Amino acid sequence: MKLPNTLVTVLICGVGTAVAHTDDVTGSGSTFAAPLYTRWADEYRKSGGGRIVYQATGSSDGLKQVIAHQVDFAGSDAPLTDDQLNKDGLLQFPIAIGAVVPVVNLPGIKAGQLMLTGEVLANIFLGKIQYWDDPAIARLNPKIKMPDTPIAVVRRQDGSGTTLIWTHFLAQVSPEWRRRIGEGASVRWPRGIGGKGNEGVATYVGYLPGAIGYIAWDFTKQNHLTYTAMTNATGAIVEPGAETFNAAAANADWSGSLYQFLTNQPGKDAWPVIGATYAVVWARSDDARRTEETLKFFDWALLHGQSSSEALDYSPLPNPVIAKIRSQWRSNAVDDVAHHPVAGQ
């Protein structure tokens, strides 16, 4: 199997080695968003911007590094609370919306052919369903002869926003999951093999017959893994893809907070497991120049990088959300960065 192009450590400046120089803007965190940072940083550099170095270490690690002043920004799919942000002097804003999908290794079964409900997925990860020919799976897939293969659950071993999105969804659809396991960037898994990052889960699923895991959509495509169809909040059967991701994103209500969960959105075409990925930067820093350079990169990304989001199968942020983010920057005394008009406003 082809290994992911985005490994645990990622340099996103076009060419060179993964060594940050003094003037570079550095970031770390989300593997879910790493392909987007890769594309944006390369295009930003070509447009005349500075050099961006990013390490895809997982959301929890990225947050630890930015709080410790080891990097200029963190990529995180697990939003911090206002209390946490205020305590550490940080700003947080969404940069794109992405999807998490179940992937399986079942020879002879094609991508999208197998259908699973949220309840069945929760029972698989709880260990209540342990074989692929379990009646609960067979009833959902009467046209497929399910093998009597044991199910090998693969999940994240590191703190992960992808895990937060996935477990939040499972807690919505399964009262037992909510009661026994709950949700979070890290949980006490009832079973399974732990992989480091989305790429670690993708690798394990690709090599283990009978495996099931959850990963970001881009890693699914990149590694040619077999994804499943799912039922959504309306009971409709949907497959992952730009159309179902955008349908889910279109129903999100951003009128209140910029930090929210987006799983299980209404709409017959909506993919049920999506979430925003966030950037976390310093609101106040001893080095104002570094804060300014960091926000210049994100200002460019929000105004000029949304087409790249779509090309990588993320859903771009709506223009009113971009305007709200830049207003947040102005209220935090970074007017020199957020001065361009937002397209379409």
Q: Is the pLDDT of residue 306 over 60?
A: yes
Quick one: average pLDDT of 176-184?
97
The model's confidence at residue 332, banded by pLDDT at 50, 70 and 90, is: low
Report pLDDT for 11.
39
For the chain, the structural domain boundaries read 25-98+275-331, 100-273
pLDDT tens-digit series, residues 48-92: 999 999 999 988 899 999 999 999 999 998 888 889 999 999 999
Residues in Cβ contact with 244 at an 8 Å cutoff, skipping those fewer than 6 apart: 238, 269, 270, 271
Buried b vs exposed e over 226-250: b needs ≥16 C-beta within 10 Å? bbbbbbbbeeeebbbbeebbbbbbe
Q: Is the pLDDT of residue 289 over 90?
A: no
Global pTM reads: 0.82
CATH number of the domain at 100-273, please? Answer: 3.40.190.10
Domains 25-98+275-331 and 100-273 share a fold: yes
Q: Is the pLDDT of residue 175 over 90?
A: yes
- What percent of the chain is modeled with pLDDT above 70? 89
Q: Running DSSP on this structure, what letter comes out for residue 36?
A: H
Q: What CATH architecture does domain 25-98+275-331 belong to?
A: 3-Layer(aba) Sandwich (3.40)
Residues in Cβ contact with 338 at an 8 Å cutoff, skipping those fewer than 6 apart: 295, 299, 326, 327, 329, 330
Quick one: average pLDDT of 127-144?
97
The model's confidence at residue 143, banded by pLDDT at 50, 70 and 90, is: very high
